[in-house]
Homo-oligomer: A and B are copies of this chain.
Amino acid sequence: MTQPRIPGRRFLHSPGPTPIPEAVLHAMSQQPMDLGDPRVDANLAACEAGLERLLNAPQADVFIYATNGHGAWEAVVENVADVGATVLVAGTGHFSESWALQTEALGRKVLRTPWVEGQPIDNDAIEQMLREDTAHRIQAVFAVHTDTASGVTSDMAAVRRALDAAGHPALLVADVVASAGAVAFDMPALGVDVALGASQKGLMCAPGLGWVAVNERAFALAMANSAPRYYWSWPLRRSELSYRKYCGTPPQNLLFGLEAALGLLFDEGLGAVFTRHALLAGAVHAAVEGWATAGALGFFAQRPSARSVSVTTVTVPPGTDVDALREVARERFQVAMAGGLGPLFGRAFRIGHLGDCNPAMILGALGGIEAALRVQGLPVGDGVGRAVAYLAQPPVASVVARTAA
């Protein structure tokens, strides 16, 4: 690596990849095995069972790919819609638009609901567009649960209600890349037909895995779909043979890590994991509120209840050099954060607070960011002090309530 080493541990607060726990790194460091070794099958089964448990979806088919989140999107597109078919993408900002463009590039037609900056999914628009589709040409509704660019989490139950209200048979596909492992997500209770995710965010793994969980209705649609495909094909991957399941050699070391990471989540307890995420998000929000008192910074996500527990998008004044700010934060204060994406490029920075994170890590990150903001001359009120005070409070009712939801 040509860049100088940063002394001490770097604070990784991009919203993905996230810090990988020691136990996961050690699991990844085990030697791979010959594909005939029954330990390989045991590992694959544990990964599938763990993801099913995370989604409370023991009946789902789980397919894990050597790929990333964009690959998981592609897997969904290739299986739920034939070439030339139509899907409806719910507008959430940068990531919904990226998914829509990828879907179009793969030869499918895309309808979009409008997106208002700082707002979650427009469920009324979904309902209306589905009602208008009397021929039921729309095969599926694609909805990003937490848009990593905007830091907004939409209400997936409300999306489901929109489909139901319209009486439309389209599949509901939820992208939980940025929310899985950070908030409760009960796939059957939410009426989600396909959930898709990746390894490098709330799942605390190295990037390199994408996955889908598919219910029976969605799998049946995939079976009926004659679109040419192979690597992504769910029907081909529904097999007992590891070589078929993964269309070739499975990415064993990443899967060793995934098994270990899921084990850490279950050992901590999913409830405790989600409470922790809500608590840490609260600390970040407290700091942003403190910074905002100086008039320069603010929340991009307008509705407090829609602010993600995974990532917070903070707006900056026009003319701010966000890249320079990030560089100071990273190189002088060892805090790696993210910039604004797509329409938010140059208008915001983003703090990831998901995955294997704890109060001291969040306080260190907020402190380092606050120092960088000061160095760059951005006026800030007391942020990290507010976060300390927030964390020192007795556990707040709102945290518990959000977590139980």
Contact = CB atoms under 8 A, between A and B. Distances in A.
Interface size class of A (residues with CB under 8 A): 35 or more
A319 interface: no
A206 B252 contact: yes
A197 interface: no
Contacts of A273: 7
Contacts of A36: 14, 323, 326, 330, 336, 338-339
A382 to B, nearest CB: 5
Contacts of A358: 6-9, 333-334
B71 A247 contact: yes
A151 interface: no
Interface stretch (A22-30, A54-62, A304-312): A22-30
Interface stretch (A164-172, A185-193, A364-372, A396-404): A364-372
Contact of A2 (B42, B206, B231): B42
The complex is assembled from copies of this chain, and their number is: 4
Contact of A391 (B30, B371, B392): B371
A16 interface: yes
Contacts of A210: 66
Given A12-B34, A230-B74, A356 B388 contact: no
Interface stretch (A99-107, A121-129, A132-140, A211-219): A99-107
A5 B206 CA distance: 20
A224 to B, nearest CB: 16
A29 B28 contact: yes
Contacts of A21: 8
A398 B356 CA distance: 38
Given A37-B336, A248-B70, A368 B357 contact: no
Contact of A1 (B32, B42, B70): B42
B367 A70 contact: no
B10 A357 contact: no
A188 to B, nearest CB: 28
Contact of A382 (B22, B38, B339, B382): B382
B359 A388 contact: no
Given A29-B29, A31-B10, A70-B231, A251 B371 contact: no
The residue among A11, A31, A106, A249 with the most chain B CB atoms within 10 A of its own CB is A249
A320 interface: no
Contact of A66 (B33, B71, B229, B371): B71
Contact of A20 (B32, B38, B200): B32
A374 interface: yes
A244 to B, nearest CB: 11
B370 A250 contact: no
A334 B361 CA distance: 8
Nearest to A350: B34
A358 B25 CA distance: 23
A8 B356 contact: yes
A264 B4 CA distance: 11
A78 B378 CA distance: 49
A332 interface: yes
Given A333-B391, A359-B367, A363-B368, 8 more contacts: A11-B364, A22-B29, A26-B26, A28-B28, A37-B330, A66-B210, A68-B248, A382-B385
